[in-house]
Amino acid sequence: MQNRDRIRYLGAALAASAAGLPALARSASPLKVGFIYVGPVGVAGWSYAHDQARKAMQAHFGGKVVTQFVENVPEGPDAARVLRDLAQQGNELIYATSFGFMESVLRVARDFPKVRFEHATGYKTAANVGTYDARTYEGAYMAGVVAGGMSKTGVLGVVGSVPIPEVLRNINSFTLGAQSVNAKIKTKVVWVNKWFDPPKETEAATSLVNQGADVLFQNTDSPAVLETAEKLGKYAFGWDSDMAKFGPKAHLASAVINWTPVYVDETGKVLAGTWKPEQIWWGVRHDAIDLVSINPAVPAAIRKRVAMVKAGLKNGSFHIWQGPILGQNGATVLAAGAIGDDKFLHGIDFYVKGVEGQVPGK
Amino acid sequence: MHEYALLLASALSAGTPLALASLGLLINEKSGVVNLGAEGMMLMAAIAGFAVAVATGNQWLAFGAGAVVGSVLAAAIGVLVLWLGTNQYATGLAMSLFGAGLSAFLGMNDVGRNLAPFGHVHIPWLSDLPFFGAALFSHHLMVYATMLFAWGIHVFLHRTRAGLVLRAVGEAPESAHALGYPVRRIRLAALMVGGALCGIAGAYLSVIYTPMWVQGMTAGRGWIALALTTFATWRPARVLLGAYLFGGVTMLQFYLQGRGVQVPAQLLSMLPYLATIVVLALISRNPTWIRINMPASLGKVFRPAA
């Protein structure tokens, strides 16, 4: 055999074995999955819920998957650094669990086309970036039903985190739920401009109670609002995870997110090789949202109403955003009979009638 | 009307940690040492106080722990600055960063841990007054203690011999040294007392104000206290005023948001800082006044001539 042919033969053999390597690698070594959290995992809240689901997903797939997480990643340039680090460590699927990671995810995804990214609560996708979200507004609505039934002053207080459409949607859904029980409900909103800041949340909650709110709701990540309600003898809700133990008397219910179905589904698709970038938005129907640990003091009629709403959301017969819905100034934002589709829901930048205050930044 | 009483009440309780830290820094600066480590001291004291409160359930032990931690850290700054002659500003800054990091590390397991809230005082007749009862007479004991501290510091500085010596050390350390006073030891003592007050402020934050630990929970209050001391021209009464003003406007901006005032929330959250600076700068704009009250040797290294 001539040298030229030997080289060609060697090259072909090498190429063939290299092509076969990934297939060999997949079946031999487990899939590495990375997670980044915006806050500390702690014992309750947004990041805690994600971490619980991570553990459940890990248990589901056993040895086929190995997970790692980084907590307390600030939304900014640091996020890009951490994502890059995870990608370089061999993670083939990375979940970025906060809205503010969006630009960092897109930037790092461009540099690592073989790594798949899932961005929670985002709206931009790419060839290797998908988004996933939970219909937290369904949990907010159900909490609102309970709040409407339990409020004696008719004034509800919401500690808002960051004024993005998701949070505005939750505040509105909470108000709509309460108004379905008591049409005269008013909601006051105070913004702390952070997702997690217990001292500020405490101050905000105190201020709301001082202004007459007797049931509090939050879109922030810590149990501080619930603890403040407990201290001041008012009611409040848990958010993102079950917070009943932080305010035994004050806790009415917790609107929780169960991320396990999404994580099992997406990771399973990567394992099977069928993953493609999607925009998932799951709610009660997919067991991603629930209202749990309802306080025994809540009357049976209200509980029944919540159960009916839950059943309706599960089988698709009930729609929270169904017209007629009025904006703050009385103008119709959703016509009678119309059902708000996902596009409408994503673009909510207003308050519904009954919510007091001005949307920040408008 | 009741809303305003509650607003006033929350101004007092929100301003207390600031007032305590500022008073501590006032003592430090009157002796001539700038203590930039207030933020770190408050954080370390906050985690120490929280841990002790969780372990023992006794809030006074928690305050004690905070005071001790603050003192120890202040003593560390003292040794570095007074005997080793390091730059006061750099050392203080280093202590702040150190305190912030170490407290976050030590408190890792305490994030989100529960602490039963401690009660407020109920004075038999005064607490039931229509407006002032809720506003002034239903606070935690530490709020009243802070006012006592301020009065006590004023009396100490201006009516006692020891206070005179302290001020002398701050104004003209060479003269004090010539008279035979142990300048560095007096400054160390002042640092430790001031550090203890900063520590109590930190413990108050994590045990009473928000009974929870989260890293960085002082959110810059140590730095605000530092600025407050300067803007209040080192007078305890003005420090109190500035602290309560800051606390009041912080709660006011939440109140305004809830009321639906048409000002962006981000601008409203700037308000406390702006208001405090403006008010104090206005009160203290007399240059003679500043010259009289500012310790002349503030920030300068003192080396006793052999």
Q: Per the CB < 8 Å rule, is A157 touching B258?
A: yes
CA distance A200 to B201: 17
Domain ranges of chain A: 2-134+258-282, 136-249+288-346
pLDDT tens profile B13-42: 889 999 999 999 999 999 999 999 999 999
Selected for mutation to probe chain A from B214, B251, B253, B266 (highest A CB count within 10 Å) is B214
To the nearest whole Å, the CA of A111 is away from the closest chain B CA by 33
Tokens encoding B202: 């930190």
State the nearest Cα–Cα gap between B117 and chain A, in angstroms: 7
User: What pLDDT is stored for residue A25 in this prediction?
Assistant: 42
**Grouped pLDDT means (10 residues each) for chain A, 362 residues:** 69 55 56 92 86 96 94 89 95 93 94 95 92 94 96 95 91 96 94 85 91 94 89 93 89 94 94 93 93 93 95 93 90 90 89 89 68
Q: Look-up: residue for tokens 């605000």? A: B224
Residue A163 phi/psi, 5-degree rounding, is -75, 70
Q: Pick from A84, A80, A73: which is nearest to A47 by CA?
A: A73
Query: If you measure CA to CA, which chain B residue comes closest to A155?
Result: B258
CB contact under 8 A, A227 and B205: no
Q: Give the span between the Cα atoms of B178 and B159, in whole angstroms.
A: 23
Q: What pLDDT does B140 receive?
A: 85
Cβ–Cβ pairs < 8 A, chains A and B:
97
The whole-number pLDDT of residue B305 equals 67
Question: Touching check for A269 and chain B: CB below 8 Å?
Answer: no
Instruction: Decide: A222 and B214 in contact? Cβ < 8 Å.
Output: yes
- Residue B301 amino acid letter: V
Contact A189 B257 (CB under 8 A): yes
Q: Is B181 helix (H, G, I), strand (E, B) or coil?
A: coil
Local structure of B163: helix, strand or coil:
helix
How far is the C-alpha of A223 from the C-alpha of A202, rounded, in Å?
Answer: 9
> CA of B175 to nearest chain A CA: how many angstroms apart?
46
Other Cβ atoms less than 10 A from the Cβ of A62: the count is 8
Alpha-carbon distance of A217 to A144, in angstroms, equals: 9
> Does B214 contact A at CB distance below 8 Å?
yes
**DSSP collapsed to 3 states, chain A:** CCHHHHHHHHHHHHHHHHHHHHHHHHHHCCEEEEEECCCCCCCCCHHHHHHHHHHHHHHHHHHHEEEEEECCCCCCHHHHHHHHHHHHCCCCEEEECCHHHHHHHHHHHHHCCCCEEEEECCCCCECCEEEEEECHHHHHHHHHHHHHHHCCCCEEEEEECCCCHHHHHHHHHHHHHHHCCCCCCEEEEEECCCCCCHHHHHHHHHHHHHCCCCEEEECCCCCHHHHHHHHHCCEEEEEECCCHHHCCCCEEEEEEECCHHHHHHHHHHHHHCCCCCCEEEECHHHCCEEEECCCCCCCHHHHHHHHHHHHHHHHCCCCCCECCEEECCCCEEECCCCECCHHHHHCCCCCECCEECCCCCC
> Of A191, A199, A246, which is closest to B210 when you measure between CB atoms?
A199
For residue B298, the 8-state DSSP code is T
Contact flag B266-A210 (C-beta cutoff 8 Å)? no
ipTM value, please give it: 0.74
CB A79 within 8 A of CB A99: no
Token pair of B301 as six digits:
């290294």
pTM of the full predicted structure?
Answer: 0.81
Contact status, residue A155 vs residue A213, Cβ threshold 8 Å: yes
Q: Give dist(CA B33, CA A314) in Å, integer.
A: 66
Q: What homologous superfamily does CATH list for A136-249+288-346?
A: Response regulator (3.40.50.2300)
- Looking at the complex, report in whole angstroms how far the Cα of residue B264 sits from the nearest Cα belonging to chain A: 5
The chain B residue lying nearest A229, using CA atoms, is B117
Query: What length does chain B have?
Result: 306
Q: Check residue A17 and give its pLDDT.
A: 53
pLDDT in tens, chain B (306 residues): 777 888 888 889 889 999 999 999 999 999 999 999 999 999 999 999 999 999 998 889 999 999 999 999 999 999 999 999 899 999 999 999 999 999 989 988 777 677 777 777 777 777 777 777 777 877 888 899 999 999 999 999 999 999 999 999 999 999 999 999 999 999 999 999 999 999 999 999 999 888 888 878 888 889 989 988 988 889 999 999 999 988 888 888 888 887 777 777 778 778 888 887 887 778 778 888 778 888 888 888 888 765
Q: What is the pLDDT of residue A23?
A: 43
Measure the CA–CA gap between B120 and B107, rounded to whole angstroms: 26
Q: Identify which of B6, B209, B259 has the shortest CB distance to residue A199.
A: B209
Distance, CA of B114 to CA of B93 (rounded, Å): 32
Residues of B in contact with A358 (CB under 8 A): 260-262
Residues from chain B contacting residue A44 (CB–CB below 8 Å): 112
Instruction: Count the Cβ atoms, other than its own, within 10 Å of residue A49.
Output: 23
* A227: nearest CB among B6, B211, B255: B211
Is domain A2-134+258-282 given the CATH code 3.30.56.10 in the classification?
no
Q: Are B231 and B280 in contact (CB under 8 A)?
A: yes
In degrees and rounded to multiples of 5, residue B65 shows phi and psi of: -60, -40
The answer to whether residue A193 neighbours chain B at the CB level (below 8 Å) is yes
Quick one: which of B45, B24, B48, B37 has its CA closest to B96?
Answer: B37
Which 8-state DSSP code applies to residue B188? H
B258·A222 Cβ contact <8 A: no
B266 touches chain A (CB under 8 A): yes
Tell if the CB–CB gap between B214 and A198 is shorter than 8 Å.
Answer: yes
Q: How far apart are CA B232 and CA B143, in angstroms?
A: 20
Question: Is the CB of A356 less than 8 angstroms away from the CB of B259?
Answer: yes
**Who among B219, B258, B269 is closest to A207 (CB)?**
B258
Please return the burial class of A331, using the count of CB atoms within 10 Å of its CB with bins 0-12, 13-18 and 19+.
Answer: exposed
Q: State the amino acid at position B248 in one-letter form.
A: G
Minimum Cα–Cα distance from B119: chain A residue: A231
Pick the residue of B257, B267, B269 with the most A CBs within 10 A to test the interface with A by mutation.
B257
Whether A97 and A133 have beta carbons less than 8 Å apart is answered as no
CB count, 10 Å around CB of B304?
11
> Which residue has tokens 């553990």?
A55
Q: Do domains A2-134+258-282 and A136-249+288-346 have the same CATH topology?
A: yes
C-alpha distance from residue B209 to each of A166, A336, B18, B231 (Å) = 30, 48, 12, 25
Minimum-distance CB partner of B217 among A157, A198, A246: A198
| Cβ–Cβ below 8 Å for A202 and B210 | yes
- CB contact under 8 Å between A227 and B112, yes or no, is no
Minimal Cα–Cα distance from B54 to chain A, Å? Answer: 15
Residues in chain A with CB shorter than 8 Å from the CB of B14 are 203
A135 touches chain B (CB under 8 A): no
B111 bridge partner residues: B213
Please list the alpha-helical segments (H only) found in chain B: 2-30, 38-56, 59-78, 88-106, 132-136, 141-159, 161-171, 173-178, 183-204, 221-231, 236-259, 265-283, 287-293
Residue where the block lists tokens 């999955």: A33
